[in-house]
């Protein structure tokens, strides 16, 4: 059996339970979780933007190919018409004039197509720049999420390890208490918001902050007895027993 009193053991169990609850809340609300969510949202947005930009670029490239094909056809036509114009085979002035007008018309169309090509090339450059920027941002976000996920995993492991050690310690402490005491403790935890055991400090209950009558405090000598606060009805641990708990913890920390 443990040399410490049952109330003081129960107090340590309570501190363990409160710490485990705190760890569960900390684990649930680790900032990395929100960071990962934000990064995932950013990644999905960047992927969607890249998809749209690549589609836009592909459409521009198809237009570029179409206009280049049209320029190729126009070039062939101009060459044929100029060959007629300068071959000397056509002697009729009106026919020559018609061929010359056709050449001028084709060259005007050619100028228009070349202007379209230049504009498309500028649009393609802008599109390529946008894609490059999004790709760089995506790469950076993927690296960030990998690091953040690693940090989250590490923190979860540390929390889980502490939780495991506390749970293990709780099992050992429970062996020194009667089952009825443990049942009452578990039932009262829900009713008292997790705080079933309080420490009496200078005649004051440290949970409800009410001062107990001096007659009652003077009569509370036996640390093995379960005294209760007159106001909040919590189990009271006497000051000397609380000091023992702190001393034991201090020795453990020193040994570590």
Predicted local confidence at residue 62, as pLDDT: 97
Task: Using the 3D structure, point to which of 112, 139, 172 is the last residue of a domain.
Answer: 172
Look at the chain and report how many structural domains it folds into: 2
- Kindly list the distances between the CA atom of residue 73 and the CA atoms of 11, 79, 105, 119, in Å, as whole numbers in the listed order: 93, 10, 14, 20
168 and 207 inside one domain? no
Q: For the chain (length 256 residues), average pLDDT per consecutive 10? A: 68 95 97 97 98 97 96 95 86 88 94 96 97 98 98 98 97 90 88 90 92 90 85 86 47 40
Cβ-based neighbours of 232, under 8 Å, separated by 6 or more:
192, 198, 205, 207, 208, 210
Q: What is the CATH number of the domain that holds 34?
A: 1.10.287.1700
104 and 201 inside one domain? no
- Pairing verdict, β 235-237 and 197-201: parallel
Q: Is 204 helix (H, G, I), strand (E, B) or coil?
A: strand
Q: How far apart are alpha carbons 43 and 239 in whole angstroms?
A: 57
For residue 211, tell me if it sits in a domain: yes
Domain limits at 218?
Answer: 178-255
Identify the CA nearest to 4 among candidates 255, 254, 247, 251: 247
122 and 34 inside one domain? yes
The set of long-range contacts for 35-40, using a CB threshold of 8 Å and a minimum separation of 24, is: 35/148, 36/145, 36/148, 36/149, 36/152, 39/141, 39/144, 39/145, 39/148, 40/145
Predicted local confidence at residue 241, as pLDDT: 58
147 and 192 inside one domain? no
Task: Using the 3D structure, point to which of 148, 172, 196 is the last residue of a domain.
Answer: 172
Q: Provide the CB-side half-sphere exposure for 113 (13 A, CA).
A: 19
- Kindly list the distances between the CA atom of residue 56 and the CA atoms of 47, 117, 123, in Å, as whole numbers in the listed order: 14, 16, 10
Q: Provide the CB-side half-sphere exposure for 95 (13 A, CA).
A: 8
Instruction: List, for residues 207-219, the tens digit of each pLDDT value.
Output: 999 999 998 888 8
Q: How far apart are alpha carbons 198 and 234 in whole angstroms?
A: 6
95 and 186 inside one domain? no
Predicted local confidence at residue 105, as pLDDT: 95
Predicted local confidence at residue 196, as pLDDT: 92
For residue 10, tell me if it sits in a domain: no
45 and 157 inside one domain? yes
């Amino acid at each position: 059996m443990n040399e410490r009193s049952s109330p003081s053991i129960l107090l340590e169990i309570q501190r363990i339970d409160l710490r485990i609850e705190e760890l569960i809340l900390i684990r649930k609300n680790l900032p990395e979780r929100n960071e990962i969510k934000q990064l995932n949202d950013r990644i999905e947005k960047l992927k969607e933007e890249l998809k749209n930009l690549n589609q836009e670029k592909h459409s521009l490239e198809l237009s570029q190919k179409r206009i280049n094909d049209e320029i190729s056809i126009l070039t062939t036509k101009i060459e044929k018409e100029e060959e007629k114009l300068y071959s000397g085979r056509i002697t009729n002035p009106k026919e020559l004039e018609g061929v010359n007008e056709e050449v001028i018309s084709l060259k005007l169309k050619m100028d228009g197509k070349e202007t379209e090509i230049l504009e498309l090339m500028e649009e393609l450059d802008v599109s390529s720049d946008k894609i490059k920027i999004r790709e760089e941002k995506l790469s950076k976000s993927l690296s960030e999420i990998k690091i953040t996920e690693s940090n989250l995993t590490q923190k979860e492991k540390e929390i889980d390890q502490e939780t495991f050690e506390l749970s293990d310690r709780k099992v050992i402490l429970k062996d020194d208490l009667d089952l009825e005491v443990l049942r009452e403790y578990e039932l009262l935890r829900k009713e008292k918001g997790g705080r079933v055991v309080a420490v009496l400090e200078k005649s004051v209950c440290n949970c409800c902050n009410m001062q107990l009558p001096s007659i009652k405090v003077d009569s509370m000598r036996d640390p093995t007895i379960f005294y209760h606060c007159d106001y909040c009805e919590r189990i009271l641990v006497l000051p000397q027993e609380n000091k023992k708990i702190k001393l034991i913890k201090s020795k453990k920390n020193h040994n570590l």
